[in-house]
A and B are shown apart, each in its own frame.
Chain A
Amino acid sequence: MYRLFGRYPSLRAWLLLLPAALWLFIFFIAPLFIVLAYSFLERGTYGGVEWVFTLENFQRTFDPLYFNTFLRSFYIAAVTTVITLLLGYPLAYYIATRPPERRGTLVLALMIPFWTNFLIRTYAWLTLLRTNTGLINVTLLNLGLIKEPLPLFGNDFAIILGLVYGWLPDMVLPLYAALDRLDVSLVEAASDLYAAPRNVFWRVIWPLSLPGVVAGSMLVFIPSLGAFVTPAILGGGKSLMIGNIISNQFLAAHDWPFGSALSFVMMAVMLAATLIYFRSTTESDRRQL
């Protein structure tokens, strides 16, 4: 064996890759092609497919009914990304500028809440936000501060709140990594060269942290776009995202081909976003070299 590997070093690499490659093929690539194939077929009556080629499923995705949900999902994901960035940047900056021995503790403190199951945490928000029985509205009503319950639940606000809460660490960690790498003497050099604090930030700190900004934004935007647990629970069945429509097509409407087509259109959007992300990060890396 050993001699065989010694003679064919690439053989060893292939053998080591084999389990992972098999796994990916059987459980990821093959299903992906099945879904792709389904998206060009007609629906079966009780789920499943009829083996008849059609483009109708893709045409239907541009039906305003679904296309508007697409646009709204895009909008919700974008707003979520901007808010996590606005919240996450100062937090990451704060952690990165603490003494080294305290940074680890702060990062840990950021992570600990997220060791709890995501579903449970989302239900926790439900008990806080619910319109008539939620903790916030009940408290405010009892205190007499409001007369009518606030619209905290079953709308975009609730979904965005849940998504921001859920994905904040995914924004903070890449930002923290980028800011932690930033050489303090660059900040000093800028202020030595007459830059007021806001110029130090916009001319030096911000451009050098861009790889973290882009990475964090992608890590928040992509799962937010495809989210379905958060809108299912906090949207209250009224406010839906594309992830809910897709799961409905498979589970409730038994229209697998249409669900497959929606999935593929969403994947195409995500792929485009990821490509933009890779291009901008490699460019900023090149700038830093």
Chain B
Amino acid sequence: MAENYAVELRNVTKKFGQVVAVDDVSLRIGRGEFYSLLGPSGCGKTTTLRMIAGFEMPTRGEVLIEGEVQGHLPPHQRPVNTVFQNYALFPHMTVEQNIAFGLEMRKVPKDEIRRRVGEMLEMVHLTGMGKRKPAQLSGGQQQRVALARALVNRPEVLLLDEPLGALDLKLRQAMQLELKALQEQVGITFIYVTHDQGEALTMSDYIAVMNRGRVLQLGTPEEIYENPTSRFVADFIGETNFIPVTVREGGQSPRVAIGDQVVEAVWAQDGLPVGAQAVLSIRPEKIALHRQASDAPGKAVIPGKVTNLMYLGTDTRYTVAIAGGSEVVVRMQNVTSSEHFFRPGETVALAWSPHHGRVMEAD
């Protein structure tokens, strides 16, 4: 049922000489999805995108677009368009000429080109700027032209290579919302490459987290954030604590020892034997501080001592030292006023629900 996917990658590998840039990646990207490839620089996400666009050909494996095997089809014969990281606007053409380029190449009638270019300019809020050269536009405006130039062709799939990377923070956040709204409006499949986990969480329907050429985890932003299945993913997406533990029981209902305190966890990575040194991954906001262990029935509880606190407005960020000398970060929302703050030096009980604890390889 390959035709159910906008883009499908089957065991795609790309080598540059001896360097494996993309290593046996398989993806299925559904129609109309906002799908992010997320990972640090050099993880293979851009190479993956370039293989879908046709700028690179896979060393092994297949790329399918709308169920069609692409083989060695050159970029101009693929039903996808790309928004480049540096926008790659044609400097010698006006905004209108840039946007019309793809339609002209496909020999769309002149009056239809004029109409569609006008519509696009309106959609990206650039009406009246059509006669300008790209160099006369701000970064954000150039970004919109790049988007319009791709979307005007109504591609099956839009490929975006870190399109917001060059913008300043405020503009980037505004454009994130705009992009997401635009994607919902046009209903085109977006494949979005980014190294910014916040961006990926905000905009995506699905995320593929990549590292060293491999896909480590696929899922919705919530699944990836709540249920990371590797230390890399837990670390790369959001903030997390890795508390050193000894495995007491693996498998379906894992139990680990922190110092001499045994707690339950919801999930353990495969292949961790009993007695192994591991880490318990737990997000700072999942942990609550209490005066006494008995205040948190039904929770995993360990003792600690507050070493530091940082007031952040909506919440307070505590650093708590626990048995064995490691430190745990705890974020508690400031629901009530400051008299409930725990002070540095205070002995506290750290409590969390066992189904937030995930046991992973130590390194």
Which chain A residues have a beta carbon within 8 Å of chain B's beta carbons? 183, 185-186, 188-196, 199, 203-204, 207-208, 284, 287-289
A289 to chain B, nearest CB (A): 5
Whether the Cβ atoms of B133 and A287 lie closer than 8 Å is yes
Known: A183-B88, A192-B150. 9 other contacts (CB 8 A): A185-B84, A189-B82, A190-B90, A191-B75, A192-B76, A194-B102, A208-B91, A287-B91, A289-B133
| Complex contacts, A185 vs chain B, CB 8 Å | 84, 86, 88
Asked if A288 and B92 make an inter-chain contact with CB atoms under 8 angstroms apart, the answer reads yes
Compute how far the CA of A220 lies from the CA of B338 in the bound complex, rounded to whole angstroms. 81
Among residues of B, the one whose C-beta sits closest to the C-beta of A194 is B105
Query: Is residue B135 within 8 Å, beta carbon to beta carbon, of the partner chain?
Result: yes
* A193-B84 contact in complex given A203-B101, A207-B92, C-beta closer than 8 Å: no
B102 proximity list for chain A (CB < 8 A): 193-194
- 14 A-B pairs, CB-CB below 8 angstroms? A183-B86, A183-B88, A185-B86, A189-B90, A191-B76, A192-B76, A192-B80, A193-B101, A193-B102, A195-B76, A203-B101, A284-B92, A287-B92, A289-B133
Is B115 an interface residue when CB atoms closer than 8 A count as contact? Answer: no
Which chain B residues lie closer than 8 Å to A194 at the CB level? Answer: 76-77, 102, 105-106, 153
Complexed CA–CA distance, A189 and B149 (Å):
10
On whether the beta carbons of A189 and B91 are closer than 8 Å, the reply is no
| Distance in angstroms between the alpha carbons of A191 and B75 in the assembled complex | 6
Residues in B65-82 with C-beta less than 8 Å from chain A: 74-77, 80-82
Measured in the bound complex, the distance between the Cα atoms of B150 and A207 in whole Å is 22
Contact B101 A192 (CB under 8 A): no
Contacts of A289 in B (CB 8 A): 91, 133, 135
B55 interface contact, C-beta 8 A: yes
B53 adjacent to chain A (CB < 8 Å): yes
Docked-complex contact A204 and B90, CB < 8 angstroms: yes
- Residue contact A189 to B84, C-beta cutoff 8 Å: yes
Binding site for A on B (CB under 8 A): 53-55, 74-77, 80-82, 84, 86, 88-92, 101-102, 105-106, 133, 135, 149-150, 153
> How far apart are the CA atoms of A207 and B92 in the complex, in Å?
7
Given contacts A194-B76, A195-B105, contact A188 B90 (CB under 8 A): no
State the CA gap A284–B80 with chains docked (Å): 31
Interchain residue pairs A-B with the least CB separation, the first 9? A193-B102, A189-B88, A194-B105, A185-B88, A191-B75, A192-B82, A191-B76, A287-B92, A194-B76
Q: Within the assembled complex, what's the spacing in Å between the Cα atoms of A289 and B91? A: 7
Residue in A191, A193, A289 whose Cβ sees the most chain B Cβ within 10 Å = A193
Q: Is the CB of B91 within 8 A of A193?
A: no
Residues in A with CB closer than 8 Å to B89 are 189
A287 to B75, CA, bound (A): 27
Q: Which single residue of chain B is at the shortest CB-CB distance from A208?
A: B92
From A187, which residue of chain B is reached at the shortest CB distance?
Answer: B88
Residues of A within 8 A of B81 (CB): 192-193
Q: How far does the Cβ of A284 sit from chain B's closest Cβ, in whole Å?
A: 8
Chain B residues contacting A288 (CB-CB under 8 Å) are 91-92, 135
Cα distance A192–B92 when bound, in Å?
18
Evaluate contact between B76 and A196: CB separation under 8 angstroms: yes
| CB-defined contacts of B84 to chain A, threshold 8 Å | 185, 188-189
Whether B105 pairs with A193 at a CB distance below 8 angstroms is: yes
Residues from chain B with a CB closer than 8 A to the CB of A193 are 76, 81, 101-102, 105, 149-150, 153
Residues of chain A with a CB closer than 8 A to B54's CB = 192
- In the bound complex, residues from chain B placing their C-beta under 8 Å from that of A195 are 76, 101, 105
A192 near B86 with CB under 8 A, answer no
Q: Closest residue to A207 on the B side, CB-wise?
A: B92
| A208, B84: Cα distance in complex, Å | 19
In whole angstroms, how far apart are the Cα atoms of A192 and B89 in the complex? 12
Q: Tell me how far the C-beta of A196 lies from the nearest C-beta in chain B, rounded to whole angstroms.
A: 6
Closest Cβ of chain B: how far from A143's Cβ, in Å?
45
CA distance A199 to B104 in the complex (A): 11
Q: In the complex, are the beta carbons of B133 and A191 less than 8 A apart?
A: no
Closest chain-A Cβ to B283's Cβ sits at a distance in Å of 39
Report the minimal beta-carbon distance from A64 to chain B, rounded to whole angstroms: 44
Cα(A196)–Cα(B102), bound, Å: 11
Interface centre among A185, A192, A195, A199 (most CB of B within 10 A): A192
Q: How far is the CB of A205 from chain B (nearest CB, A)?
A: 11
Q: Which residue of A lies closest to B146 (CB)?
A: A189
Q: How far is the CA of A192 from the CA of B75 in the complex (A)?
A: 5
Smallest Cβ-Cβ distance to A196: which chain B residue: B76
Bound complex: CA of A284 vs CA of B211, how far in Å? Answer: 44
Q: Which residues of A contact B53 (CB under 8 A)?
A: 188, 192
Knowing A183-B86, A194-B153, A207-B92 are in contact, say whether A199-B75 is a contact too (CB < 8 A): no
Which residues of A have CB within 8 Å of B86?
183, 185
Residue of B nearest to A288 (CB): B91
Q: Among A183, A188, A199, which residue has its beta carbon within 8 angstroms of that of B105?
A: A199
* B133 contacts across to A, CB distance below 8 A: 287, 289
> A289–B153 Cα gap in the complex (Å)?
27
Report the nearest B residue to A286, measured CB to CB.
B133
Name the A residues within 8 Å of B82 (CB-CB).
188-189, 192
Residues on B with beta carbons closer than 8 Å to the beta carbon of A203: 101
CB atoms of B153 and A188 under 8 A apart: no
| B226, chain A: closest CB distance, angstroms | 36
Chain A nearest Cβ from B97, distance in angstroms: 10
Q: Which residues of B contact A207 (CB under 8 A)?
A: 92
A74 to chain B, nearest CB (A): 30
Considering residues B74, B76, B89, B102, which has the most beta carbons from chain A within 10 angstroms of its beta carbon? B76
For A191, the chain B residues whose CB sits under 8 A away are 74-76
Could you tell me the distance between the alpha carbons of A284 and B93 in the complex, rounded to whole angstroms? Answer: 11
CA distance A284 to B90 in the complex (A): 13
Q: Closest CB-CB distance, A179 to chain B, in whole Å?
A: 14
